[in-house]
Amino acid sequence: MPPTENHTHPTSATRKNYSPFADPGAARAWLEAVLDQLGVERVTALHHVCTSEWAMAPRRVGDDMFFYVTAGSGWAEIEGRRIALAAGTCAHFRRGVPHAAGHDPRRPLRVVALHYTARLFDSLTAPQALGFPDAFDLRGDRVADTLFREACREHVLRPPGHTRAVEAIVLRLLLHLVRTHGQALALPGQRPKVGDLGRLFPALDAMQRRHAEPVTVAAYARCAGLSEPQFRRVFGRAMGLSPVRHLARLRMERACWLLRHTSRTIEAIADDVGYAEPAFFARLFRREMKASPGAYRLLRGP
């Protein structure tokens, strides 16, 4: 079934200022500039019926993940912060962040586990830029519920064009969350400047396409038309991390996706993401993800 059209007047939630902006005009201008660059890829969406024995051991994942509860009662823990799970709660597990979950065996969870990558300027992730909370309260939000279920149907049934369709559904979901639940967003520190991101765009695009290649920071700086010191300053201001650290994250994210979705050997994956020595790759992976590549591959379930 197609999602239900919303013909009601805008709610106060859609009109209120987006935290932490005091000026609604500035908030709208910033959001428009950022969201115009939003792209979604690498989506999986499954509706799980958890067994009474189910538990999610502490782990990290290499993409972002919605954990939308449709029934049952349980809990999630994100970086030591514990939240209650019930129908309508949507936990959000950010890439690389430790999390765990469990439930009441007498009221087992039913959840939509939706893994996705949403990037701005081909590099900065949407949760990073917009300050996604640990959880969204989606009780009574029929639009969000419909979009989660529609994403699952597309992913499981795989009709022609399903990849593009499910990406479009998740894009609609993200825009809906920002518009309707903007009060839940809390940007970490000072928001990235759109002007800085725009200056970095050629370099960010090159990093996304060539992160597995031995390209120097100086070469990426030239892509942006900046000196290397300028590039490092602008990059740190806009992205909140160094160019080298950003490249390492891109490599680990790609490695995580290959481990979850392909049967390629760990040696081949190490080479794919730019590491000639599989042992060195394995050490870096364990440091970042708190699990060996082999153990990470065995992770199953939501």
| 209 and 267 belong to one structural domain | yes
pLDDT level of residue 34 (50, 70, 90 thresholds) = confident
- Final residue in a domain of this structure, among 184, 202, 229: 184
pLDDT level of residue 3 (50, 70, 90 thresholds) = very low
Q: Is residue 1 part of a domain?
A: no
Residues 6+ apart with CB under 8 A from 15: none
| 134 and 267 belong to one structural domain | no
Indicate which CATH number applies to the domain containing 233: 1.10.10.60
Q: Is residue 169 part of a domain?
A: yes
| 40 and 163 belong to one structural domain | yes
Tell which residue, 56, 116, 57, has the closest CA to residue 92. Answer: 116
| 41 and 87 belong to one structural domain | yes
pLDDT attached to residue 16: 46
pLDDT attached to residue 300: 54
Q: What is the pLDDT of residues 101-155, one digit of tens each?
A: 999 999 999 999 999 999 876 567 888 778 899 999 999 999 999 999 999 999 9
Q: Comparing 4 with 300, which gets the higher pLDDT?
A: 300
| 169 and 22 belong to one structural domain | yes
Give the residue-averaged pLDDT of 31-46: 85
Kindly report the backbone phi and psi dihedral angles of residue 165, in degrees, each rounded to the nearest multiple of 5, phi listed first: -65, -45
Q: Determine the Cα–Cα distance for residues 101 and 301; give it in Å rounded to an integer.
A: 12
Tell which residue, 249, 248, 258, 245, has the closest CA to residue 293. Answer: 258
For residue 276, the enclosing domain spans 194-297
- Count CA atoms closer than 13 A to 132's CA, side-chain side: 22
| 231 and 213 belong to one structural domain | yes
Give the residue-averaged pLDDT of 255-262: 86
pLDDT level of residue 182 (50, 70, 90 thresholds) = confident
Q: Is residue 302 part of a domain?
A: no
| 95 and 218 belong to one structural domain | no
Least confident range from 3-7, 49-53, 115-119, 156-160: namely 3-7
| 238 and 122 belong to one structural domain | no
pLDDT level of residue 212 (50, 70, 90 thresholds) = confident
- pLDDT above 90: residue 295: no
| 36 and 154 belong to one structural domain | yes
Q: What is the pLDDT of residues 147-177, one digit of tens each?
A: 999 999 999 999 999 999 999 999 999 999 9
- pLDDT above 90: residue 297: no
Q: Is residue 97 part of a domain?
A: yes
Q: Is residue 110 part of a domain?
A: yes
